[in-house]
Amino acid sequence: MADAKMIEPPVSSTENHDEIKLGPPPFDVEDADVVLRSSDHVDFRVYKLILSLASPFFKTLFTIPQPRSEGAGTAGVLADRMDDVPVVPISETAPTLDAVLRLVYPIEDAVLDTLTHIRPVLAAAIKYELEEATIVLAGRLLALSAGGSTPIGVFATLCHHRLGEEARVAAKYCLREPFADLLNQMTLPDIYLTSAAPSYLRLLQYHSRCSQILGKITPGELFTAARHWLPDCRACGAMFTISPPGQIGLLPVEIRYRPKFWHLFNQNLIERLKIRPCGDKVMDLELLVLSLAVRCPNCPVDASQRILTYRESVKVVIDEKVSSVELDLGF
């Protein structure tokens, strides 16, 4: 889906509006009852009712009595008029205003798929008290992080706007990054990082605490958590015992033969969790391939399928441990 294209025919006017251009459809309708003029001189002809329903800001603005313009110098936010329709000057650029209005109107949204695209639109949505648009845009930021794109920038942006619930979700995506990388990001010339500096320091502490907790996990703890999926191999496996839940150290115990590839998977996983303390690391394809490469010919034929299920169970265990660590954002 492509971004909406700006339509740029000049709009005639008797009041120094030679450079004013008209916005793209559907923001060019003749029967609009208000004009939003962007900072780069593009007029968006819109309906007060739609804006009022979506925004307390605009609802209040439109209910304030405004004098009718009879000439230059008339006071009032809506004093300027275009074709007898009040004009509201907006500090945002036309692309930003277009994207905001598309989130308000029942039409196709603009394509907003990068941090650079979303940041000014989110700022405008919050400024004009567009609650639903703000929720949508925060969700798109988190989708960027979930996909591995700019998790630190997303976290800083959400903290800058004091969107605490979403910022905590973004913080978990930042756990995918090594601590050293997070530390190095602090030197970047990013106004959002500067604004969110206190919260960012707390993110570093959060990352450190999660690493410490996951660094204490033992292979035996992982085996116990998902032992139903553990295959046995007497040829390459090392014997170990598992006590029933709540009966550690007591008889009876379960005797198992842990395959070599399974043991390697857990060892490598624990080392990676110390650097990137999050459950998503369990699902790394590279980790799985390296482990299966040492599988012996006598390992059960369904061993590969079993370890896929095992990964899901272990991810739950790790996510629960990470969720037990609180993050104070400072706001």
Give yes or no for residue 70 having a pLDDT over 60: no
Confirm if 178 and 275 have CB atoms less than 8 A apart: yes
Provide the pLDDT for residue 187.
Answer: 73
Mean pLDDT of 286-292: 81
Provide the pLDDT for residue 290.
Answer: 80
Question: Which secondary structure element, helix H or strand E, spans residue 254, and what is its range?
Answer: strand 254-258
Mean pLDDT of 78-105: 87
β-strand partners of 28: 45
Provide the pLDDT for residue 141.
Answer: 97
Provide the pLDDT for residue 249.
Answer: 53
Give yes or no for residue 100 having a pLDDT over 50: yes
**Distances from the Cα of 272 to the Cαs of 121, 199, 289, 319, 320, in angstroms?**
37, 25, 15, 15, 17
Mean pLDDT of 269-274: 89
Provide the pLDDT for residue 40.
Answer: 94
Q: Could you give the count of Cα atoms lying within 13 Å of 123 in the half-sphere of its Cβ?
A: 13
Tens-digit pLDDT profile for residues 198-220: 999 999 999 999 999 998 888 77
pLDDT-derived band at 253 (thresholds 50, 70, 90) equals low
> d(Cα 15, Cα 34) in Å, to the nearest integer?
17
| Domain spans of the chain, in order of start | 1-110, 112-216, 219-323
Mean pLDDT of 101-126: 95
Give yes or no for residue 10 having a pLDDT over 80: no
pLDDT-derived band at 72 (thresholds 50, 70, 90) equals very low
Give yes or no for residue 112 having a pLDDT over 90: yes
User: What global pTM score does this model have?
Assistant: 0.79
Give yes or no for residue 108 having a pLDDT over 70: yes
1-110 fold: Potassium Channel Kv1.1; Chain A (3.30.710)
pLDDT-derived band at 57 (thresholds 50, 70, 90) equals very high
Mean pLDDT of 72-95: 72
Provide the pLDDT for residue 190.
Answer: 84
Provide the pLDDT for residue 58.
Answer: 96
Provide the pLDDT for residue 208.
Answer: 96
Residue 330 phi/psi, 5° resolution?
A: 85, 10
Provide the pLDDT for residue 235.
Answer: 82
Tens-digit pLDDT profile for residues 217-244: 887 777 766 666 677 787 877 766 666 5
Confirm if 19 and 41 have CB atoms less than 8 A apart: yes
Q: Which residue in the block uniquely carries the two structure tokens 């989708």? A: 143
Give yes or no for residue 13 having a pLDDT over 60: no
Give yes or no for residue 77 having a pLDDT over 80: no
Give yes or no for residue 168 having a pLDDT over 50: yes
> d(Cα 154, Cα 298) in Å, to the nearest integer?
48
